[in-house]
Amino acid sequence: MQRDYEIVERKPLLDSAGHLTAEGWARSLILDYDRSAVKGGALRIKEWDYYLITCPNYAIALTVDDNSYMSLDSISLLDFRGEKPVEQTTSPMGVMTLGRRRFPPSSLAGDVKGSGSGYSISFENPGPDSEGKTERKLSFFMKKFASAEKFGLGSGTVGIEGEICLTQYPGDTIVMATPFSEKKTAFYYNQKINCQEAAGLVKLVSADGSELARYEFSPEDSFGCLDWGRGVWTYKNTWYWGSASGMVSGKRFGFNIGYGFGDNPATENIIFYDGVGHKLSRVSFNIPTKNKTFVTRGGCCGTEAGLRVETADSEEMFMEKWTFTSDDGRFEMEFTPVLDRAANTDFVILGSNQHQVFGHYTGRAVLDDGTVLQIEDLLGFAEKVSNKW
């Protein structure tokens, strides 16, 4: 298979055996997903829509997913202002949804909703208009979202509510059809849509609905990204993912970078500029590390207590400056972290260790024709996630 194979022929995503009909990348959802064609086991199917909306000062992230044996609905609010940026993620879970949420088979049109006691998250997508423009409406509320103290709003619990409109203009996206060599019926079909203009309002509210704080998003400096995923994953895997959207030289600019799981002959690395995708080769995430240390207890072999000793093992320093390097020299960035949205859950059989780090990208990106774009302090994120699921 060609190293960076681009899929250009429309056909079903899976054959009669549940294997991918093509492996590589595409600019749109050219392969047709059908949940009923999946052969990897009813409990292994995972479907989700994840939206991230950012502006220079804050961000909101929304997830609705159906992992068959469980569901997860999530709202995250991140405020980058001040000396101590703050974030809150609240994620109610359900059990044995088994596809009953009826996710649409395409990102082109269709609604998604997750709800439960005291909350609702809704993604409405009527599809593109006559000019190919798509208007998505994201609406949500959660009565018990965060402690008021975390956001400097006194004591007690605050709720959250909001509505955001995303405008997607005609243009390229990045789509990946990824196989897993250890299981032929496992696959990940994924689309990332960057550079959607965002407009809307998010509010933190008291128990009686009174407004306590507001976060406004305007199209001049606010952008949304959709991570649309459908597939059957293997049990244990790790991925690296980075993304950003904004304005460069008066035009919409964004990128998607990542690697780490599956056996795709193509990369998901791409630059978006004025609606056109410029495909990249391999990009490395260079996360700073340091040697781990331990403090001696003393008494063993005459050692002194209280000594700090370095070990040969290293640990990643997610809040120090990262770098990104590409093997074709077309994506070279420094990344200065502002906030680490970290979570580590371990239920023995199931678990997730994630660091989604928000910060600013500065560097250079080179388009297909050799044009060099200078990037300065572009807000985005980079993450490392390890799952047992």
Percent with pLDDT over 70 in the chain: 94
Q: Is the pLDDT of residue 1 over 60?
A: no
In a domain, 1, yes or no: no
User: Tokens at residue 345, please?
Assistant: 């859950």
Kindly indicate the confidence band of residue 196, based on its pLDDT and cuts at 50, 70 and 90: very high
Q: What is the pLDDT of residues 48-86, one digit of tens each?
A: 999 999 999 999 999 999 999 999 999 999 999 989 999
- Residue-level pLDDT at 295: 66
Average the pLDDT over 23-29 and give the result.
98
Asked if residues 84 and 158 have their Cβ atoms less than 8 Å apart, the reply is no
* Residue 56 counted as domain residue: yes
- Specify the range with the lowest mean pLDDT, choosing from 175-184, 193-202, 308-317: 308-317
Residue 228 has pLDDT above 60, yes or no: yes
Predicted confidence at residue 290, as pLDDT, reads: 87
- Report the predicted TM-score, pTM, of the whole model to 2 decimal places: 0.93
Cα distance between residue 282 and residue 213, in whole Å: 42
- Read off the pLDDT band of 166 (50, 70, 90): very high
- The pLDDT of residue 308 is 67
Count of domains observed in the chain: 1
Over range 26-33, report the average pLDDT: 98
Q: Is residue 312 part of a domain?
A: yes
| Rounded CA separation 376/365 (Å) | 11
User: What pLDDT does 307 receive?
Assistant: 62
Q: Which of 127, 123, 105, 125 is closest to 114 using CA atoms?
A: 123
pLDDT band, very low/low/confident/very high, at 333 (cuts 50, 70, 90): very high
Closest to 252 in 3D by CA, of 334, 169, 175, 190: 169
- Which residue would you say has higher pLDDT here, 30 or 2? 30
- Residue pair 253/260 in contact (Cβ under 8 Å)? The answer is no
State the pLDDT at residue 303: 63
Mean pLDDT of 8-30: 98
- Percent of the chain, pLDDT > 90? 89
Q: Which of 245-249, 329-333, 336-340, 385-389 has the lowest mean pLDDT?
A: 385-389
Residue-level pLDDT at 368: 97
Assess if residue 2 is contained within a domain: no
Range of the structural domain that residue 363 is part of: 11-388
Q: Are 54 and 76 in contact (CB under 8 A)?
A: no
Residue 6 maps to a domain = no
Please indicate, yes or no, if residue 94 is contained in any of the structural domains. Answer: yes
Phi-psi region of 151 (alpha: psi -120 to 50; beta: other; left: phi over 0): alpha
Average of per-residue pLDDT values in the chain: 94
**The pLDDT of residue 349:** 78
Res 2: pLDDT: 64
How high is the pLDDT of residue 345? 82
Closest-CA residue to 365 (of 247, 252, 255, 274): 255
Residue 348 contacts by C-beta under 8 Å, 6 or more apart in sequence?
none
Which pLDDT value is given to residue 310?
60
Q: Comparing C-alpha atoms, which of 99, 97, 91 is closest to residue 121? A: 91
